[in-house]
Amino acid sequence: MTFATLTALSYLIYFERHVRSSAARLFVVVTVNRSSATRRIRLLRRVVRRTSRRILALAVVSVVFVVSWYPLHVLTAVDPGFRQPFKV
């Protein structure tokens, strides 16, 4: 579970960087062609902003999941016979 969570979070960081770098390359291509470049740039910025928000939301959900369920996972892995008191 630890490996899967770390892999997912690292992929989210990688994906966010990839989106931003791709957008930077697209901005260069769009600005070379001056006809309707402003409209295309606004559209690209909106797409990048929405994608970044979705990546951030997924990262927050992943962190909340880890904070909420990881202690139970560790307790289950450490104490497979469930000998710990109920309050733990």
Domain boundaries, the chain: 2-78
Residue 11 has pLDDT above 80, yes or no: yes
| Residue whose C-alpha is closest to residue 11's, from 53, 62, 78 | 62
The model's pLDDT over 15-37, given as tens digits with 9 standing for 90+, comes to 888 887 877 777 666 666 666 67
Amino acid letter, residue 63:
V
Residue 6 has pLDDT above 70, yes or no: yes
pLDDT at site 59: 83
Instruction: Give the integer Cα–Cα distance in Å for 10 and 14.
Output: 6
Residue 71 has pLDDT above 70, yes or no: yes
CA angle 21, 32, 49 (to 5 degrees): 35
| Residue whose C-alpha is closest to residue 16's, from 46, 42, 53, 65 | 53
Which residues are CB-contacts of 28 (< 8 A; sequence separation ≥ 6)?
none
Instruction: Give the integer Cα–Cα distance in Å for 22 and 48.
Output: 9
Instruction: Give the DSSP H or E segment for 36.
Output: none
